[in-house]
Amino acid sequence: MVDLETAEERVGYLIELGDTLSPFDESAKIEANRVLGCQSMVWLTSKIQGEELVFSATSDAPMVKGLVAVLVGAFSFKKPEQILAYPILPLFDDLQLKSFLSPLRSNGLYSMVQKVLAIAESNLNQDHAQKPKVTERPRPSRSVDECRDDFPILSRLLPSGKSLVYLDNAATSQRPLSVINAMSDAYENHFSNVHRSGHTLAAETTLAMEASRQSIADFVNAPSKDGIIFTAGTTASINLVARSWGDAFIKSGDEIVLTEMEHHSNIVPWQQLASRTGAIIRWVPITAGFHLDLEVYQKLLGPRTKLVALTAVSNVLGTINPVRSMVDMAHDVGATVLVDAAQAIPHGDVDVQAMDADFVVFSGHKMLGPTGIGLLYGKKSLLESMPAFLGGGNMIQTVTKEGFTQADVPHRFEAGTAAIVEAIALKPAVDYLMSIGSEAILRHERELCDRATKSIQTLPGVRIFGPESHEKTGVLTFVLDGIDSQQVGHLLDSQGIAIRVGHHCAMPLHQRLGIGASCRASFYFYNTLEEVDRFVEAITALVLRRAAD
């Protein structure tokens, strides 16, 4: 395309190209239009002309203006889908840019391209707002029998001399090597802060973090990655909504509907909100069969209902709730709905568009990912109506002595330095879950849970809480009459078996069940039938010992 012999000739050519740019509106030189990640100041705007996008841009550096001119010429007067599919790299090769651009210039060029693609994607999403996005997931590529060796901790020999049987998966899952290695690779090879600097490490880390955001968006079938907010976990996500959306839209006398199945993280923030605003909390009870009472739920809904917050899956009972029908009933009275999907996401079958919930929250550590990272999905129109919750770096467009303007979503809600490495490591976690498939995960869990349930339910003094196995995930919650739950936990631990004991951060549910604490064995796809048998043998021995005493 262009045959230039020396770097000086190429620089001169770029400067000449920069002089061909149309004048840029000085009033548009604002932070919202600045391209972050460039060594020089670069501004870029766009407008719709028919069905095509037209870009306007400039820079304070003559050579960079030439790079800007290349992009404006390449991407203008194209439809959004054409821009997203345009092969820009061959054009860069034709211009021989890589051979003489410094790393900083190369990263700036990359940042400009990403800004253009983000604008095109945003316009494409608006064009197809009425057409639900459907993400095609890859076919499962491995069986549950092939995955155990990917989890190094599962082969651990404990101080008791027993091999580990890990049955506390509802509290947190274990991590495969791909997740562990991704974190090590980020720290060892390309760690830097994101969305700020223009150097190589910053560009690589930003790319990896945003690739993870896109991966999560695809995993839950979100319409756009802009609706995916990185948080510190499910609890942080719920508190963000309660503080930002709740403080803005909940008033005295408004009603908040919760269920008796909720984890404390989906109770306490709403109690705090009610205390601040004078709102009233209503409760959906559970039935004798360990399901939510939908008849009572329907009666609770009315014109004063402003929010429904419910769990997709109970962390104690394993009950899988009819989320879509409950969301529809709430929307019929104009209520906003938040779904706690922390216990649903590990099984890989969370589709935010199918749910139609306004907010969906979950944690990375329950789905093979790191601790300290969680997600908030929100419908973009709602997120854009919400004020920033935390103030600081990264969540602003401009700051003056008089005040500030907040950034667009998702960055509006990601103040400060993020859990960068943890966010990056979510992508291999998602990839791993998809390689097995939600159907295989749930089928294997239920097989293990059903075997354990049938084996211990006939033992004297064993009481089990939860619906039939086909109505829940792989959670087995029980009490042994005459044996304190803490004692059960300690005795099983001496046999190398890890379960959860206590109230599981669900005290209202335990009060409803008439118990102070319970024991919970939660199975996952990497557990085995042999581990179930060890668990059953240990429980049987406890019951027989109690009978002998």
Active site residues: 505
| Cα(333)–Cα(322) distance, integer angstroms | 18
Burial degree of 271 (CB within 10 A; 0-12, 13-18, 19+)? middle
The two tokens of residue 198 are 């223009």
Inter-CA distances, 260 with 250, 271, 346, Å: 22, 14, 22
The answer to whether 425 touches 240, Cβ cutoff 8 Å, is: no
Output the DSSP codes for 433-475.
Answer: HHHH-HHHHHHHHHHHHHHHHHHHTTSTTEEEES--GGGB-SE
The answer to whether 118 touches 33, Cβ cutoff 8 Å, is: no
Q: Locate tokens 């791993």: which residue?
A: 432
Q: What is the 3-state secondary structure (H, E, C) of 489-535?
A: HHHHHHCCEECEEECCCCHHHHHHHCCCCEEEEECCCCCCHHHHHHH
Strand 462-465 and strand 475-480: the pairing is antiparallel
Cβ neighbours of residue 456 under 8 Å, at least 6 residues apart? Answer: 462, 464, 478, 536, 539, 540
The answer to whether 74 touches 68, Cβ cutoff 8 Å, is: no
| Cα(123)–Cα(117) distance, integer angstroms | 10
The answer to whether 528 touches 163, Cβ cutoff 8 Å, is: no
